[in-house]
Amino acid sequence: MTVRRFDNKVALVTGAGQGIGFAIAERFAAEGARVIMADIREDLLSEAAASLRAAGGDVSEHQLDVSAAEQVDAVIAEIAASCGRIDILANNAGIAKEEPFVEIEDQQWRRMIDVNLNGMFYVAQRVSRLMVQQGGGAIINMASTNGLVGEAGYAHYNASKGGVVLLTKTMAIELGKSGIRVNAVCPGYIQTPLSQSIDSPETVERYIEQFIPLRRTGTPQDVAGVFAFLASEDATFITGECIVVDGGQLSF
């Protein structure tokens, strides 16, 4: 039987055009939510939304660069006008790139922070204002195990995700009185188009052998299930947490 925990709920998913974001949107749609998909790449977004509609999902889409505050303002205003509310925010949009610390250029540093941290802030703040008015909601921010421990070659990414972790905790403290729960998900090694563009199959195999007790990489669906749990009534007394989804990697 299909569980439908999100009937009559409106869920906004950023970075929904592919990878983890698409899996999150797919999970919410399958469980009955009205899903608004947002992504910077309109081509990926249109294809992804069409596939969920073909499967029976109640889906709409908005092209969005989360690092542009004025775009975020416009999209949230459109959603508020058309849907009247946002019950769930899956604040997922992000980028990653491997570069040695001493070689990171200023522009590259700014872009990473703009998308992964500033964009997270813009979307969460605008959505939370709507949630305060409506009397509650659930926000799940996409962090990373790289926001909890360091990894060579990812200084700008690590810094951005570390910021997301503490942003999440502060939001939980301030917004709890308004009935808004805020949590973060910290994936480890998940096989997505982004990760596959960075690492070779040989690198992935070595990484699994050395660092992942469950002896596999994660899937987007592994992460989507945690987003769905944190958005559901099963998690009504959970806020300010950073849930690690890493196959045991941080157990070492």
Q: Would you call 1 helix, strand, or coil by DSSP? A: coil
Report pLDDT digits (tens) over 89-138: 999 999 999 999 999 999 999 999 999 999 999 999 999 999 999 999 99
Report pLDDT digits (tens) over 174-185: 999 999 999 999
pLDDT at 89: 99
Report pLDDT digits (tens) over 5-18: 999 999 999 999 99
- The residues, ordered by sequence, that sit 6+ positions from 185 with a Cβ below 8 Å of its Cβ are 140, 141, 142, 143, 223, 226, 227, 230, 242, 243, 245
Sheet with 58-63, side-by-side order of all strands: 58-63, 34-39, 10-14, 88-91, 137-142, 180-187, 242-245
Q: In terms of CATH, what superfamily is 10-189+221-245?
A: NAD(P)-binding Rossmann-like Domain (3.40.50.720)
**What single DSSP character describes residue 117?**
I
Name the more confident of 59 and 2. Answer: 59
Torsion of CA 109, 114, 115, 120, to 10 degrees: 130
Q: With bands split at pLDDT 50, 70 and 90, how would you rate the model's confidence at 1?
A: very low
Report pLDDT digits (tens) over 69-79: 999 999 999 99
Whether pLDDT at 200 is above 90: no
Whether pLDDT at 187 is above 90: yes
Q: With bands split at pLDDT 50, 70 and 90, how would you rate the model's confidence at 234?
A: very high
Find the helix or strand (DSSP H, E) in which 169 lies.
Answer: helix 155-175
Strands 137-142 and 88-91: parallel
What tokens were used for 24? 């999150």
Q: With bands split at pLDDT 50, 70 and 90, how would you rate the model's confidence at 85?
A: very high
| pLDDT average, residue stretch 27-56 | 97
pLDDT cut 90: percent of the chain above it: 93
pLDDT cut 70: percent of the chain above it: 99
What tokens were used for 11? 């869920």
| pLDDT average, residue stretch 32-58 | 97
Query: How far apart are the C-alpha atoms of 153 and 50, rounded to whole Å?
Result: 37
> Could you list the active site residues?
157
Nearest-Å Rg of the Cα atoms of the chain is: 17
